[in-house]
Structure 1
Amino acid sequence: MTSNEIRIDRRTAVVGAGAIAAAAALAGCSTYGNDSGAAAEVAPPADGPAGALAKTSDVPVGGGVIVGDTVITQPTAGTFVGLSATCTHAGCKVAKIADGTINCPCHGSRFGLDGSVSSGPAARPLPPKPVRVEGDSIVQG
């Protein structure tokens, strides 16, 4: 063997190929659907009634926010909708609301502001969660 030849045994090749495949899979799953927009997650308001999730002013018309395990949208002015933040495809938490859709980062499912499926792989809508307006707050129930 000359100094320019490299010898690789079968074990080294299999281990190396497995490590490359695992790294590629992790990189692909962690970045699918990400874009540079801001996250929709907000903290519940410190002031307000018990069970307050957000202020009505926090929820843009034609958009929404994510508070814990609840998505709150405002499809039209003054109409607030509560939905589960758990994607119906594989149980991932939705991560962003942009351009009129609620977006799951795991496999790219998109839901309308009413929870309906806009694009899969999810086949079922986001389940509703009851919310109501009390003063300037949106509360559970």
Structure 2
Amino acid sequence: MTTRATRRTVLLAPGAAALTVGCGAEDGGAGTPSDTAEGEGTPGQELLPVADVPVGGGRILGAEEIVVTQPEEGEFKAFSAVCTHQRCLVSDVSDGAINCPCHGSRFRVTDGSVERGPATRPLPEERITVDGNTIRRA
């Protein structure tokens, strides 16, 4: 008698776990953010002190997947920290740009627009408020 392979027997077969471990983001890159909503946070959530965001630069909040910038003194902006090219988390903010380590995309701290590709779309804006000396989600 021949045993026919079903979806259930294939999934339960030894080594099946090794086959599913490789499944992931489309780009297959390490360091990509999760596709869950856990990075969304709640309105009013405290993000960081105003003093932690340098003028002309910014700070990346990896757990929240947000980058907060201060293009000019007292002006704060926030963008998704997920690169629009292949969903890597941006790694640093320097020389007026938000930088992605995966393929070299650069985004302007003023508005999240693309300064250098391969990304072609800007970083989506995130809503924040300044409450005294604290930056919060709006």
Give TM class, smaller chain: 0.5 to 0.7
Runs of 4+ in 1 over 6 A off after TM superposition: none
The one-letter amino acid of 2:68's match is I
Identity between Structure 1 and Structure 2 (%) = 51
| CA deviation map 1:39-79 (0-9, x unaligned) | xxxxxxxxxxx511010000000000011300000001111
Deviation at 1:99, TM superposition (A): 0.9
1:101 to 81, 87, 97: 97
Q: 1:3 is matched with which residue?
A: none
> Aligned with 1:53: secondary structure?
strand
In 2, Cα distance between equivalents of 1:105 and 1:93 = 8
Q: 1:134 is matched with which residue?
A: 131
Give the TM-score taking structure 2 as reference length: 0.66
Unaligned runs of 5+ in 2: 1-28, 31-43
Structure 2 residue 57 is matched with structure 1 residue 60 = no
Unaligned runs of 5+ in 1: 1-28, 31-49
Q: When the two structures are aligned, how many residues end up with a matched partner?
A: 94
Q: 1:16 is matched with which residue?
A: none
Give the TM-score taking structure 1 as reference length: 0.64
Deviation at 1:87, TM superposition (A): 0.1
In 2, Cα distance between equivalents of 1:86 and 1:101 = 14
In 2, Cα distance between equivalents of 1:139 and 1:73 = 13
**Superposed, which structure 2 residues align to 1:1-141 within 5 Å?**
51-67=45-61, 68=63, 69-113=65-109, 114-141=111-138
